[in-house]
Amino acid sequence: MERDVAIIGVGMVRWGRYPDPKRPDEYPERTMPELAVEAITNALKDAKISWRQIEAMVSGVYLWVNQQAGIHGTLSGTAIANLMGYTGIPIVSVANACATGQSILREAVLAVASGECDIALAVAADKSAFGFFRPQSTDGKSDIDYMRFVMCGETNPAYWAMECRRRMYEAGTTEEDLALVKVVTSKPAPFNPYARYRKTFTMEEVFKSPMVCEPLRLLEICATSDGAAAVIVAEYEKAKKICKKPVYINAVAVGTPTFGDPTVRLTYLSSNIRPGVPTLSESRNAVQKVYKMAGMTPDNIDVIELPDNSSWHYFAYLDCILNLDPGESEKLLRKGETDPITGRIPVCPSGGLGAFGEAVVAQGLAQVCELVWQLRGEAGERQVKKDVKVALAQTYGYAGNNAACIVSKGW
């Protein structure tokens, strides 16, 4: 990168259902662009700048376009800017599944780092499909997502359950380990005003929850949610003049799979295995890229936000981030070393996807918001106890997409 870049403002909305018939005062009817506008407004307030100071914008493309948003889902950036008020700036809309949030952060960072502009905005909002994520067409010739549903009814949690069973066989992961993930990650949830489920859970409650896809229970799988988040970045020297605590962006990268990976990805029903190729290679590729870009190793990381879509994800992605052998992540959890507030390596101090539910394209930016608050010491009762200097966020995406970033104190 030609120029250094820092985060000067972040903003979110509370995750949930818009509207929620049971809680209409908390969750009124809101469109995707309206959710995005609230997140942008909060980020502008945080940065203490105006909308007219934004020089470029990158928006996450809303995935469930056939079900709810139509053309405004595909052209999300245009729809959002229309509500904010057009100012003539360049706007790009990007789709990269669950990796969209940090993918658009990457594009905003590159716009500033290249010298194209000094201040850029990344924003993403999503109103998820109700229940299981399902195909967006009925094209039996070209849509492999539709085909996998028709052929075997394979929902996303079914994939996770099969990978979890393999991990239990190979690494010795137990049902107690899976339940413990929910118990531990829920600890900070009551203290996060943006979380949908602000509650802690016990082992007994997790074990009593219904089995969804054996061995994964209901409380070991995240919900689907609506949500929005925004991150404003600026050239580093300018950022230091704008705010007292700019968060330096050490690295941000996108990863895709290596051929021969044994992981069976969403939309597919098999894999082509080659010796020496690791599982979840898209995640490993993204994470290794940001370590290389930042000149760091796992030992430098003080706090982690990862995609705990299920208890299996927690272990699998912690392996990738810390470069651990299968089974080592379970040991860290049992010892309390990944406790989200008091751990040696706190994981998901936000409460994770278990507390939020997955708002697909916005999730990666929500992770970044949490890391910014942790680095600034602004996380309130969920503030991690150790001195946080460097933080890492990582999100995996449907069909083999991944993104990761490393951020640190810039003051």
Q: What is the CATH number of the domain that holds 229?
A: 3.40.47.10
Q: Are residues 242 and 186 in the same domain?
A: no
Q: Contacts from 262-265 at CB under 8 Å and sequence distance 24+?
A: 263/163, 264/159, 264/162, 264/163, 265/159, 265/399, 265/400
Q: Are residues 326 and 390 in the same domain?
A: yes
Q: Are residues 229 and 191 in the same domain?
A: no
Residue 68 has pLDDT above 80, yes or no: no
Picking from 187, 139, 162, the residue whose alpha carbon sits closest to that of residue 265 is: 162
Least confident interval from 130-134, 294-298, 358-362, 366-370: 130-134
Q: Are residues 304 and 171 in the same domain?
A: yes
- From 190, 213, 248, the end of a domain falls on 248
Q: How many helices (H) and strands (E) does the chain have?
A: 14, 11
Query: In the beta sheet, which residues pair with residue 310?
Result: 221
Q: Are residues 57 and 171 in the same domain?
A: no
Handedness of CA 265, 329, 173, 260 (dihedral sign): positive
Domain presence at residue 139: no
Mean pLDDT, residues 187-200: 98
Picking from 269, 16, 257, the residue whose alpha carbon sits closest to that of residue 128 is: 16
> What's the chain's average pLDDT?
94
Residues contacting residue 113 through CB under 8 Å, at least 6 positions apart: 1, 2, 3, 4, 5
Contact 362, 124 (CB under 8 A): yes
Mean pLDDT, residues 52-70: 81
| The predicted structure's pLDDT at residue 193 | 97
Percent of the chain, pLDDT > 70? 98
Q: Are residues 235 and 339 in the same domain?
A: no
Q: Are residues 169 and 120 in the same domain?
A: no
Q: Are residues 317 and 404 in the same domain?
A: yes
| The predicted structure's pLDDT at residue 361 | 92
Residues contacting residue 114 through CB under 8 Å, at least 6 positions apart: 1, 2, 3
Report the alpha-carbon distance of residue 254 to residue 218 in Å, rounded.
30
Contact 166, 221 (CB under 8 A): no
Mean pLDDT, residues 37-51: 98
Q: Are residues 9 and 115 in the same domain?
A: yes
Domain presence at residue 142: no
| The predicted structure's pLDDT at residue 65 | 58
Q: How many CB atoms lie within 10 A of CB 295?
A: 10
Q: Are residues 215 and 308 in the same domain?
A: yes
Residue-range definition of the domain harbouring residue 97? 5-133+225-248
Domain presence at residue 144: no
Picking from 267, 263, 178, 191, the residue whose alpha carbon sits closest to that of residue 221 is: 178
| The predicted structure's pLDDT at residue 298 | 98
Report the alpha-carbon distance of residue 301 to residue 119 in Å, rounded.
27
Residue 329 has pLDDT above 70, yes or no: yes
| The predicted structure's pLDDT at residue 152 | 82
Using pLDDT thresholds of 50, 70 and 90, give the confidence band for residue 348: very high
Structural domain count of the chain: 2
Picking from 396, 323, 407, 346, the residue whose alpha carbon sits closest to that of residue 371 is: 407
Q: Are residues 122 and 217 in the same domain?
A: no
Mean pLDDT, residues 135-158: 83
Q: Amino acid identity of 275?
A: P
Mean pLDDT, residues 339-345: 98
Domain presence at residue 370: yes
Report the alpha-carbon distance of residue 379 to residue 10 in Å, rounded.
13
Q: Are residues 58 and 199 in the same domain?
A: no
Domain presence at residue 322: yes
Domain presence at residue 145: no
Report the alpha-carbon distance of residue 14 to residue 350 in Å, rounded.
12
Using pLDDT thresholds of 50, 70 and 90, give the confidence band for residue 201: very high
Residue 104 has pLDDT above 80, yes or no: yes
Using pLDDT thresholds of 50, 70 and 90, give the confidence band for residue 366: very high
Mean pLDDT, residues 42-51: 98
Domain presence at residue 294: yes
Domain presence at residue 210: yes
